[in-house]
Each structure stands twice: as C-alpha cells, then as structure tokens.
Amino acid sequence: MSKVAIVIRHLAFEHLGCFEKTLIEHNYKIYYYDAGVHDIWTIDPLTPDLLIILGGPIGAYDCEQYPFLKDELRILKIRMDENRPTLGICLGAQLMAVALDADIKPGQAKEIGYKPLELSHAGLNSPLKHLKDQPVLHWHQDTFSLPDGAENLAHTDICAQQAFQKGKNILGLQFHPEISAGFAIEAWLIGHAFELAYENIELNKIRNDAEMHGHNLEKAAGKMLSQWISELVAA
C-alpha cells in the first residue's frame, strides 16, 4: 500500500536528492510544497505518513521576515506532539528543535564543505551508523540546543548538535546527507554564490570533494534513511 510523504522545500535546488529513490522504494508517494509558492498553512499536520522539511538560507528565528515559518513551526509542533514520523534537514532540523522548545542561535563559525561526523554512542546505535567515517556535506551557521527527551547522535569540531533523535519517529539532521552524486553540487554553488564569495570558500575544493565522496555518501545515506523508515513505529 502506498504511503504519502509531504516535503516542504525552501529552494528549488535543495530537494530530496538521493532520498527520493529510497522513499519510492519504501512505497511513498512524494508531494512537494514550495515555501513562497504554495500555501504551507493548508498542510494537515497529522495526515501525511511522513513529513520532511528541507534546508534553506534563512533562520528558524526569521518568522517575522518569513511568515510561512510560523506555519511550519505550528505544523511541526502538532505533529511531533503526536509522535508522527518527521524528518528535518538543516533548516528543517532547526525548525524541529525550535518546535520542541530548544534554543537556536548562530554558531561559532559557518560550516561549509565535506567532512565526517563524530558519532555519539547513541549515534552508533542509530541509523546514522551507516555514515560512520563518511564525509557528509555541511552548509550552515546556526546551531541549536538538544531538545528535551532527544538524544544527540553526532557532532563536529565546531557544531555540538549535528543530529538528534526523539524516539524512533523524530529525526533532525543539521548536515546534508541527501545531496546526490554527480553534478548536483553545481546548482548549490550557483544558488549560494554570494554566500560562498563572502565567506571566501574555494569552490573547486567543494567540487572535488563532491566528486570524491558523492557516490559513497549517496549509498550510505540511502542505507541510513532506509533503516530509519523501517524502524518507524505507529503513533
């Protein structure tokens, strides 16, 4: 039987990437809602079998500048209060943390590029175990405190909260495991050109790392998502 995954997307090129294949393999029908294009407020928080909120270049605290974030936070709060399967990536994870009453603030530095995670004991016993020693894509500055009742799964040298899980159904990922191998990174380099120039980021370093790590990351990320989906529990 098919299931429904609703995906909130903030930038056209920051889509599900390699996660789409895994979701289809698990019989999900995928429906995108694009912030600023579709009416986010019309999403029923409890109807989708799975809700995924993707990344974007704004802050979870920018609700006055971007009112649709209030709708996302409302949906997340209702949904997570009922322990419905919810996955957030980057901004999505930050919004989940805020909806769970955690604090969010700018981190000590921007983290852009590929590097591996340091998995906690809980992380090594979670679906993130498939990412052990695997460089993943980081692209953020904001960071959040660990929500009450959640487990910290991973960190890096400049970000204490790279992933959290609350029960089996709620997973927030600060990093980007979903980026597809091949030329997907080029759209990110174009779309975030101003930020990259301002931060003096070497584009060819990201390109080369994407080519070096992209295929292995795609395989590892697919295994991670597949295990997480397989372990979801009825609310």
Neighbours of 109 (CB within 10 A): 11
Helix (H, G, I), strand (E, B) or coil at 60: coil
C-alpha span between 108 and 96 (Å, rounded): 21
Q: Is 72 annotated in the active site?
A: no
Q: Which of 130, 178, 192, 213 is catalytic?
A: 178
Q: Is 195 annotated in the active site?
A: no
Q: Which of 10, 14, 15, 90 is catalytic?
A: 90
C-alpha span between 137 and 130 (Å, rounded): 15
Please name the residue ranges forming H helices in 57-202: 68-81, 91-99, 121-124, 184-191, 193-198
By the 10 Å C-beta count (0-12 exposed, 13-18 middle, 19+ buried), 230 is classed as: exposed
Q: Which of 15, 176, 192, 213 is catalytic?
A: 176
Q: Is 176 annotated in the active site?
A: yes
- Enzyme catalytic residues: 90, 176, 178
